[in-house]
Amino acid sequence: MPRKRKLLAQLSALQSNTSFPQIDALEKLNTTPGADPSPKSSKYFVIEKKSSPQLQQDFFNQPCVSLAKSFLGQILVRKLPDGRELWGRIVETEAYLGGEDEASHSKGGKQTQRNAAMFMKPGTLYVYQIYGIHFCMNVSSQGEGAAVLLRSLEPLQGLDAMRELRRASRKAPTGLLKDWQLCNGPSKLCQAFGIDKAFDQRDLTQDAAIWMVPGQDPPGEQDVVATTRIGIGNRGEWAQKPLRFYLRGNRFVSVVDKKMEREMAA
């Protein structure tokens, strides 16, 4: 397909100008022996600066809604312990605004050990578990306790590895997954990218195993659908706020809002 060939060409161009450090096979260890166990002291969080076009602190340091929209079209990169890289274009996000947001884990300004990453500097990963088995990945933004949920990715590179990781998860289907099924949901993308609780509180501007690079041809406002978030029907007026954003017409989105798309086209 012409669009897919264009994306792959853009990906190749990005990689040809990018040099990433090797990652230690012991990546999953969060701290060095005898060191402070907090992520800030880990050798895996303080690494040699990458000579890459990766997104830096100034990108993440913006209000939650703005960041949720800005993520669309950007590329998430995950480097596996065996050196393989997974690349995916962000196509769907949700904004969680912090204290006033009844659907947020930090509503009322509540800070716990679980949601501590939501109160850390913008660009910090907040990874939490749902139903005791699945994980969801968020990125902190400006605003006390505010973060953006990454809902869906368009896989670009490493699709075979993504399938392996999905099959290894407990609830993954046994059949061969189609491309659009790999990352079309927050837990699915975590499975496909090998993301678990060990990634909580990691810094996307410093980590050797996960980072973001800018996508090509950022979408315009006319390409972005703003609609209600998924799975928060019991949160009163906050359930109706248009805080989910996705790329219109992209088949890798988890749930499309056909009514909103018709209104946009009118």
Please state, in angstroms and rounded to a whole number, the distance separating the CA atoms of residues 148 and 134: 18
Q: CATH number of the domain that 152 lies in? A: 3.10.300.10
Q: How many domains does the chain have?
A: 1
* Domain membership flag for residue 87: yes
Query: Looking at residues 13-19, what average pLDDT do you find?
Result: 44
The top-scoring range by mean pLDDT among 26-35, 223-232, 233-242 is 223-232
Which pLDDT does position 132 carry in this prediction?
Answer: 84
Which pLDDT does position 90 carry in this prediction?
Answer: 99
pLDDT one-digit tens code per residue, 234-257: 888 999 999 999 999 999 999 999
Which pLDDT does position 218 carry in this prediction?
Answer: 87
Residue 116 in this model has a pLDDT that exceeds 80: yes
* Domain membership flag for residue 27: no
- CB atoms under 10 Å from CB of 179, counted, come to 15
* Domain membership flag for residue 76: yes
Query: Looking at residues 104-111, what average pLDDT do you find?
Result: 94
The residues near 85 (Cβ < 8 Å, ≥ 6 apart) are 20, 77, 78, 79, 157, 158
pLDDT one-digit tens code per residue, 154-178: 999 999 999 999 999 866 566 789 9
- CB atoms under 10 Å from CB of 16, counted, come to 7
* Domain membership flag for residue 89: yes
* Domain membership flag for residue 258: no
* Domain membership flag for residue 22: no
* Domain membership flag for residue 257: no
pTM of the model: 0.81
- The pair of structure tokens assigned to 160 is 């075979």
Domain range for 194 is 49-218
pLDDT one-digit tens code per residue, 175-213: 789 999 999 999 999 999 999 999 999 999 999 999 999
* Domain membership flag for residue 58: yes
Please state, in angstroms and rounded to a whole number, the distance separating the CA atoms of residues 207 and 93: 22
C-alpha distance from residue 183 to each of 116, 228, 244 (Å): 26, 20, 17
Which pLDDT does position 2 carry in this prediction?
Answer: 52
Place of tokens 């980590």: 207
C-alpha distance from residue 180 to each of 56, 75, 156, 259 (Å): 29, 16, 11, 22
